[in-house]
A and B are shown apart, each in its own frame.
Chain A
């Protein structure tokens, strides 16, 4: 079992749609959680951190469920510019050197 698992997609959605991605992680001692966005042939960039209480940034909402060991990303009112690969990132505990594990990514295509 991979340490961080994501549905690779692709998700093909029309503009204005709401789309949700999930990610599961195997290490219950994981410390911190992030969603990164990666455009084609570019470097990953932080989209948002994920907090236990859930957090929102404009059209994006991230949630963490420690009991079930998954995190989610909800994108509302999708834009063409949201087309990208979304990477789930999990950082492990101090005892493991804060090991950072990336999911393989979920591809999103938003069409007009």
Chain B
């Protein structure tokens, strides 16, 4: 029972490098989200996709891009990583926009 799967779980980047975080859900959910979590800040929404084919900016979208590849997959790309993007990234999905969020296990990213 996979739920929401994120890869990679850990990554170390140098400033300026690019990378893509992958997320897939097998619950046939319509909505998918990317959050980052920093100490004392709570989870902050980077981008979300209310349904396949749509994406919208969240609270902290600068420095990120997303792709809703299909209903199952929602990727997050860092084009030119910065130390300020060191964080734990969580992908989540929900059946309805008003419903419960199901989270992946998180991806720990360090930018040197």
Contacts and interface: CB of A to CB of B under 8 A. Distances in A.
Contacts of B56: 97
A97 B43 CA distance: 17
B105 interface: yes
Given A97-B50, A98-B98, A43 B104 contact: yes
B98 A43 contact: no
B42 A43 contact: no
B98 A45 contact: no
Contacts of A42: 105-106
Contacts of A97: 48, 50, 56, 97
Given A42-B105, A45-B103, A98 B97 contact: yes
Interface string A27-57: 0000110101000011111100100000000
Contacts of A49: 100
Interface in B86-110: 90, 97-101, 103-106
A99 interface: yes
B2 interface: no
A2 B106 CA distance: 24
A95 B95 CA distance: 18
Nearest to B57: A97
Contacts of B33: 100
Interface stretch (A12-20, A60-68, A69-77, A102-110): A102-110
The list of the 9 closest CB pairs from A to B, nearest first, reads: A98-B97, A104-B42, A43-B103, A102-B43, A102-B42, A46-B100, A32-B98, A43-B105, A44-B103
Interface of B: 33, 35, 40-45, 48, 50, 56, 58, 90, 97-101, 103-106
